[in-house]
């Protein structure tokens, strides 16, 4: 029991109830003057988010060694070291020009020239001349693979790949019937021997025209 000035003698339970009522009355009185939550806090939207983010400047650390000052983009140096900005920009431009020249040289040497070569090969294999040469080679070889003796083989192969020697593309003596399995083995062997294929560099090696020699080498590379 406690003796209060306002209520006189009250128990602890009564005191607890009075405190609850007082707190409720206080919150009710002050809530009338408080604006609604929806009015005080604007609803989130992507536009508002972008607007708030757009107000924040983008910064990064000064590039001068040992300096930890933050600078606003697009600058790379703070005010104390800003005299280095022009030299840094000039070095970046020189590097970009050099990089572009190297890339262009590599593109011209590999991609563009290779695409032109592949385009010519594609047009040749679509020509009537190739169709006649293919039929002549198949009939001459009786549809038998000249590398393993597999019958019913329908593919005609350039013994010396035309990617290595384009002058032999229309020579019947440079054609041989081949099966699918031997064609795969020979293609892998051509990549290692002649350097043909994607991302490879052609080598200066002797052209092999003997089918038996090629058969031995391609099976040797395959481990068979």
Cα–Cα distance measured from residue 17 to residue 134, given in angstroms and rounded to the nearest whole number: 105
Classified as helix, coil or strand, 156 is strand
Tell me: the pLDDT tens digits for 161-173? 998 898 999 999 9
- Residue 159 vs residue 109, higher pLDDT: 159
Cα–Cα distance measured from residue 176 to residue 155, given in angstroms and rounded to the nearest whole number: 8
Cα–Cα distance measured from residue 58 to residue 25, given in angstroms and rounded to the nearest whole number: 49
Classified as helix, coil or strand, 57 is coil
Question: Mean of the pLDDT values across residues 196-221?
Answer: 85
Count CA atoms closer than 13 A to 156's CA, side-chain side: 22
- Number of neighbours of residue 17 by Cβ within 10 angstroms: 12
Q: For residue 34, how far is the Cα from the chain centroid? A: 56
DSSP string, 77-109: S-GGGGGGHHHHHHHHHHHHHHHHHHHHHHIII
- Residue 14 vs residue 197, higher pLDDT: 197
Confidence of residue 196 (pLDDT cuts 50, 70, 90): confident
Instruction: Specify the pLDDT at position 125.
Output: 87
Tell me: the pLDDT tens digits for 106-155? 666 655 556 666 778 878 888 999 999 999 999 999 999 999 999 999 99
Percent of the chain past pLDDT 70, that is, above it, reads 68
């Amino acid at each position: 029991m406690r003796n209060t000035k306002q209520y006189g003698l009250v128990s602890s339970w009564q005191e607890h109830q009075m405190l609850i009522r007082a707190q409720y009355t206080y919150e009710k009185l002050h809530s009338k003057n408080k604006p609604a939550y929806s009015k005080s806090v604007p609803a989130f939207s992507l536009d508002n988010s972008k607007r708030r983010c757009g107000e924040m400047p983008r910064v990064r650390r000064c590039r001068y060694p040992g300096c930890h000052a933050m600078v606003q983009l697009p600058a790379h140096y703070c005010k104390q070291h800003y005299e280095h900005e022009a030299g840094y920009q000039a070095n970046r431009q020189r590097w970009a020009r050099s990089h572009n020249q190297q890339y262009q040289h590599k593109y011209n040497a590999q991609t563009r020239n290779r695409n032109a070569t592949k385009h010519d090969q594609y047009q040749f294999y679509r020509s009537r001349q190739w169709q006649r040469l293919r039929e002549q080679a198949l009939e001459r070889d009786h549809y038998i693979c000249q590398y393993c003796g597999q019958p019913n083989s329908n593919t005609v192969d350039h013994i010396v790949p035309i990617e290595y020697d384009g002058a032999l593309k229309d020579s019947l003596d440079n054609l041989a019937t081949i099966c699918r399995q031997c064609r795969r083995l020979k293609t892998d062997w051509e990549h290692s021997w002649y350097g043909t294929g994607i991302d490879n560099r052609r080598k200066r090696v002797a052209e092999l025209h003997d089918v038996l020699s090629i058969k031995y080498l391609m099976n040797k590379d395959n481990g068979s």
